[in-house]
Amino acid sequence: MSQAPTPDLGYAGDITPKTAWEWMQSGAAVLVDVRTDAEREWVGFVPGAVAAAWKQWPGMQVNANFEAQVKAACEAAGTQKVALLCRSGVRSIAAAMAASDAGFEAYNILGGFEGDPDASGHRGQLAGWKKDGLPWKQN
């Protein structure tokens, strides 16, 4: 279930991973994975998600092509609604703000792909895409 959109956030709102998956499956939104290429390659990825890194390793500079990549994905899907996924739901907020500024209806996915670390320092246990048991693959 998504939270009600909050305009003062600078983007359309926050949604759960399950809502993002439902939107993606129904064609209501494009799921954009804003993690680095290395994160997607080594940690895992969501099948069917569009890869458009917000910041890229090394240096973690903002991807100058981000807006164009989101635009191309939305045009291909026939929607302006985009759900943005990062590791823990932090970078995707900045990406959602940028996408909103560019005219998209942009949502942050709460908890991201792996969520915050637990008491043992392990991700994927407290929140996020993996914790919710949603489809993902690993190379």
Number of domains forming the structure of the chain:
1
| Under 8 Å between Cβ of 119 and 126 | no
For residue 29, being part of any structural domain is answered with: yes
**50-51 vs 30-33, strand pairing mode:** parallel
Mean predicted lDDT score pLDDT of the chain: 91
pLDDT at position 7, please? 58
pLDDT at position 57, please? 81
The Cβ-side half-sphere exposure at 124, using a 13 Å CA radius, reads 7
Question: Can you give the residue range of the structural domain that contains 52?
Answer: 18-103
For residue 53, being part of any structural domain is answered with: yes
Residue of 123, 118, 129 lying closest to 83 (CA atoms): 129
**105-109 vs 13-15, strand pairing mode:** parallel
For residue 11, being part of any structural domain is answered with: no
Average pLDDT, integer, range 24-46: 95
For residue 115, being part of any structural domain is answered with: no
The token duo for 138 is: 């690993």
For residue 129, being part of any structural domain is answered with: no
For residue 10, being part of any structural domain is answered with: no
Give me the percent of the chain exceeding a pLDDT of 90. 76
For residue 54, being part of any structural domain is answered with: yes
pTM above 0.85, yes or no: yes
Positive or negative: CA dihedral 2, 65, 116, 21: positive
The string of pLDDT tens digits covering residues 92-122 is: 999 999 999 999 999 999 999 998 888 988 8
The string of pLDDT tens digits covering residues 61-82 is: 999 999 999 999 999 999 999 9
For residue 43, being part of any structural domain is answered with: yes
| Under 8 Å between Cβ of 18 and 11 | no
What is the rounded CA–CA span in Å between residue 138 and residue 116?
A: 20
Residue 2 has pLDDT above 70, yes or no: no
What kind and span of H or E run contains 84?
strand 81-85
What CATH number should be reported for the domain holding residue 64?
Answer: 3.40.250.10
